[in-house]
Amino acid sequence: MVRPFDTQPGIKSVVSGYTGGHTVNPTYADVASHTTGHTEAVEITFDPAIISYADLVEIYWRQTDPTDASGQFQDRGDSYRPVIFVNSPEQRQVAEASKAKLAASGQFDDPIVTTIEDVQPFYPAEEEHQDFYRKNPFRYQIEEMGGREDFIKQHWTQE
């Protein structure tokens, strides 16, 4: 999820990490064990004068399968569930309105199951998990071919 945001004007930083669980300072191995309750997430710092929160939500939708509560593409389990974390009532309003618009669009046959939740403590992932798409371009490309790329083409390129 780093690359789609990292390449946008107005993005100051995108940090990979974990949130929403019950373990303080979890490691990748902890989260991958599916016992901490954490979700893998990105923390995005942005300049709202250049890119809006609504734009970020739209970018998010176009990277995920919002109908799959059990993970995303080749990544399975609760730690990969689709969720938008919000920092304020205003962000919640934007995210909820965007979700309702997507649900009403008829673009997907199945219901939109992405949850919208209040932000919780965020723990940055280890350095080797930061900027994965830059550090491991071949592996990143293989993972993109694990279903995400085709899904995006099928559901978003016909607009």
- 140 pLDDT above the threshold of 70: no
On whether the pTM is more than 0.95, the answer is: no
pLDDT tens-place string over residues 67-123: 999 877 777 778 889 999 999 999 999 999 999 999 999 889 999 999 999 999 999
Mean pLDDT for 31-56 is 95
End-to-end Cα spacing for the chain = 22
CA distance 69 to 22: 20
Q: Which helix (H) or strand (E) holds 153?
A: helix 148-156
Phi/psi at 147 (5° precision): 125, -30
| Per-domain boundaries in the chain | 2-131
DSSP three-state, residue 89: helix
Of residues 17 and 4, more confidence is placed in 17
Q: Given CA atoms 95, 98, 100, 103 in this order, what sign does their dihedral have?
A: negative
pLDDT at residue 75 in the model: 72
Q: Does domain 2-131 have CATH number 3.40.50.300?
A: no
Of residues 138 and 66, more confidence is placed in 66
pLDDT at residue 155 in the model: 81
- 158 pLDDT above the threshold of 70: no
Q: Which residue has the tokens 């569930």?
A: 81
Q: To the nearest whole number, what is the mean pLDDT of the chain? A: 88
What percent of the chain is helix, strand and coil (3-state, nearest 5)? 40, 20, 40
